[in-house]
Structure 1
Amino acid sequence: MRVFGASLFVLKAIIWLPIAVYVPALTFNQVSGIGVHTITPIVIAICTFYTTVGGIKGVVWTDVVQSVIMYGSLVIIMIKGTLDLGGLGVVWQRNLEGGRLNVPDWSLDPTVRMSVFSVFVGGTFFKLQNTSINQATIQRFMSLPSLKHIQQTLFTFSIGLILLYMSCVYVGLVCYATYYDCDPMTTGLAGRRDQLVPLMVMRVLGVVPGLPGMFVSAVFSAALSSLSTLLNSLAAVILEDFVKPRMRTKPMTERTVALIMRLVVIVFGISSIFMVYVVEHLGMVLQLSATLQSSLYGPMLGIFTVGMLMPWVGEKSMFLSSVLSFAIMAWITVNAQIANVSGSFRHTKLPVSVEHCDYEFDMNRYLNSTAE
């Protein structure tokens, strides 16, 4: 069971690492025009270096600096974007008229994207697995001196996460209000939905020297934080769950342990560079990461829950059920991505407008998107 759980985490890390670095690369591409595959190796090389040299202490301290930059840039974008549009009332009115302010559907149908069931039940389990069994989170908890400190940290983290999500939602409202009468996706100004916010940042903050750079640094801070955290956790899992159990006859020296952990960070850092080529063809990054994480962490959450609350369940039955759970979730995830990429399945899109665009674009593109 230990090897199976560790394998799920390693698989999750292999898939998540390129996703984490692809997001800032997209942003940098939208802002500067530099290719995604040019900036990706540079970002990974920097992150791999300070993770290898600094270890968990270096990762935590860089996370602190990166978090300050990330939150600061979000606040600036929200304030400046709202003022440029004419105030909070304008943002609210445009989103209301555009049908962007909706409550979840009261449906138990799992295929409904935004239902009460998926948001509250699915969202609760999604965040539970992120804060309860995630190696990166537990590793930080274990570095604290007492249970009381862990509880305080978790409470602070929860408040910070809620504020972060609310800020991101509001930035989305500002983004729609900014382009409510000229959709950049339809006109071809943005190639992917993940580039809409960077495009808005250039429009809103581009008049002030240095502010677009601050936003780019914030996106890189978020990505580097995720990347370094996962690389460090990955090295710890491979060492403790795969290497040490096979070295019981000969204890490992501190030098050997440090060498193995650094080697793991370097190998997986390099591999994520090549995985970016796969990720860029798999659709929306946020949706992809959440789906993959659920398929891998779902069985792990079940394993830990049964282990803590149901000690009478046998190991063999638990192993078989977790393998079956993973297989079913993987089948759903893979087929969903294939359907998404091939175009055989699409969520209903809300209407957009290009009536007041102040630049020329291909009208046939708009007509084709409307027909779809």
Structure 2
Amino acid sequence: MRLFGASLFVLKAIIWLPIAVYVPALTFNQVSGIGIHTITPIVIIICTFYTCVGGLKGVVYTDVVQSVIMYGSLVIIMIKGTLDLGGLDVVLQRNSEGGRLNTPELTMDPTVRISVFSVFVGGTIFKLQSTSINQATVQRFMSLPTLKSIKQTLITFSIGLTFLYLGCVYVGLVCYATYFDCDPMSTGLAGRRDQLVPLLVMRVLGVVPGLPGLFVSAVFSAALSSLSTLLNSLAAVILEDFVKPRMGKGMQERHVALTMRLVVVTFGVSSIFMVYVVEKLGMVLQLSATLQSSLYGPMLGIFTVGMLMPWVGEKSVFTGSVISFFTMAWIAVNAQIANITGTFQHTKLPVSVENCEYDFDMSRYSNSTAEYEPHKGTSVYHMSFLLYALLGSLLTIVFANLATFVFGRQDIKDVDENLLAPFVQRYLRKKNNYYETVELKSAEVLKIPETSD
């Protein structure tokens, strides 16, 4: 099971690393005009270098600086963009008139991309897997001195992440309010939806020398932070789970350092070539969430079974996780094919080009308006990407329990109590105390009294 879990993490890293590289390259391309495949190797070389030299300590210190830059630039864009439009009232009014101030749909239909169910249920499970079983996150937690420090860090992280998401949502509102009567996608000014915010930055911050560079540095900071963290965790996993068990105690310190650096360099270089694949697969946010959830959903199920269901043995868990993994891989692959080929489309709101101040090919606008169709598609791989983690974990749990009918139930007494959730530990202690009391009373009742001669 440990090797299977480590393999899932390595696979996730191989797929996700180029996505993290592609985002800043796309932004830099929109701002400077330099090709995506020119800037990609530079980003990876820089990140690989300081990850190899600094290790986890270097990663954490650079993450702090990068986070400050990232939040600072986001705040500047929010404030400057709002002031340029004439205030918060204008932003809200334009978004309201354009139908952008809408709440998630109140429906249980899993194929609705953004619904109350997918956002609050699926989104919660998605963030649960990224903070509770993610090697990169757990590795950072383990570097802290006490459990209290870990809890404080988790609370601070959750609050900071919430504000970051809210800030990104507001930047989206500012972006629409800025281009509400001249859509850049329809005119060809932006080639992809992921380039809309960089385009907004050039318009809002371009009048002040250096500010667009601040935004680009923020995007690079976020990407480098993710890259360095994942590369460091990847090196640790490969070393501990794949190399050390085969090398044994004969592995010296210099061998450890060399192995970890070799892993970082190898996977860093491979990301350069994977970028060519990522740029063909659609929106970055949805792609990232889809791939992470389809791989980490089964992992979340494994940990859930291990902590809450001590009667399920290793063979049963492995069976459930393998079934879940292949099912989610099938769904994820078909979902990407459906998005690329257009066989599945989500509802898109109309746009306008009425007041564009530059010339463009009007046929592009005609083609873009044809895209705004109602939501259609009912296959299982048309489900919302926010529900992938939930489905993957549920499949693992269900099939792991069903497999106990084949492989048998595990004796609860053989399970290490420290591996179980606290409330499960308390329940088992009470149960054991109850049976011990019953056995003691039964022994007293059946005890034959001694007779004197």
Q: Same fold (TM over 0.5)?
A: yes
Displacement, 1:247? 1.9
Structure 1 stretches of 4+ with a deviation exceeding 6 A read none
**Greater mean deviation of Cα atoms: 102-111 or 147-156:** 102-111
1:342 aligns to what? Answer: 341
Identity among equivalent pairs (%): 85
For residues 154-193 of structure 1, the aligned pairs below 5 Å read 154-193=154-193
1:304 aligns to what? Answer: 303
Query: Counterpart amino acid of 2:333?
Result: V
Q: Distance in 2 between matches of 1:197 and 1:368?
A: 22
Query: Counterpart amino acid of 1:309?
Result: L
Displacement, 1:324? 0.7
Which structure: larger Rg? Answer: 2
Q: Distance in 2 between matches of 1:368 and 1:147?
A: 56
1:321 aligns to what? Answer: 320
Q: Distance in 1 between matches of 2:343 and 2:35?
A: 30
2:16 aligns to what? Answer: 16
Displacement, 1:371? 2.5
Deviation per residue, 1:157-195 (Å, 9 max, x gap): 011000100000000000000000000000000000000
Query: 1:59 aligned to 2:59?
Result: yes
Query: Counterpart amino acid of 1:33?
Result: G
2:238 aligns to what? Answer: 238
Query: 1:152 aligned to 2:152?
Result: yes
Query: Counterpart amino acid of 1:45?
Result: I
Query: Counterpart amino acid of 2:340?
Result: V
**Greater mean deviation of Cα atoms: 283-292 or 343-352:** 343-352
Q: Distance in 2 between matches of 1:39 and 1:225?
A: 17
For residues 129-278 of structure 1, the aligned pairs below 5 Å read 129-248=129-248, 250-278=249-277
1:360 aligns to what? Answer: 359
- SS of the residue corresponding to residue 217 of structure 1 reads helix
1:75 aligns to what? Answer: 75
Displacement, 1:245? 1.2
Deviation per residue, 1:276-298 (Å, 9 max, x gap): 00000001011000000000000
- SS of the residue corresponding to residue 227 of structure 1 reads helix
Displacement, 1:356? 0.6
1:282 aligns to what? Answer: 281
Displacement, 1:251? 2.9
Displacement, 1:59? 0.3
Q: Distance in 2 between matches of 1:165 and 1:280?
A: 24
Q: Distance in 1 between matches of 2:216 and 2:33?
A: 13
Q: Distance in 2 between matches of 1:251 and 1:133?
A: 30
- Gaps spanning 5+ residues in structure 1: where? none
Query: Counterpart amino acid of 1:210?
Result: G
Query: Counterpart amino acid of 1:272?
Result: S
Displacement, 1:341? 1.0
Q: Distance in 2 between matches of 1:93 and 1:258?
A: 57
Q: Distance in 2 between matches of 1:158 and 1:251?
A: 42
- Gaps spanning 5+ residues in structure 2: where? 372-453
Q: Distance in 1 between matches of 2:48 and 2:370?
A: 46
- SS of the residue corresponding to residue 25 of structure 1 reads helix
- SS of the residue corresponding to residue 102 of structure 1 reads coil
Question: What RMSD in Å do the two structures reach over aligned CA positions?
Answer: 0.7
Deviation per residue, 1:241-279 (Å, 9 max, x gap): 11111122x431111100000000000000000000000
- SS of the residue corresponding to residue 247 of structure 1 reads helix
Query: Counterpart amino acid of 1:316?
Result: K
Q: Distance in 1 between matches of 2:345 and 2:188?
A: 20
Corresponding residue pairs, total:
371
Which structure is higher in RCO with an 8 Å CA cutoff and minimum separation 6? 1
2:125 aligns to what? Answer: 125
Structure 1-normalised TM-score? 0.99
Deviation per residue, 1:309-364 (Å, 9 max, x gap): 11110111111111111111111110010111112221121000000101111001
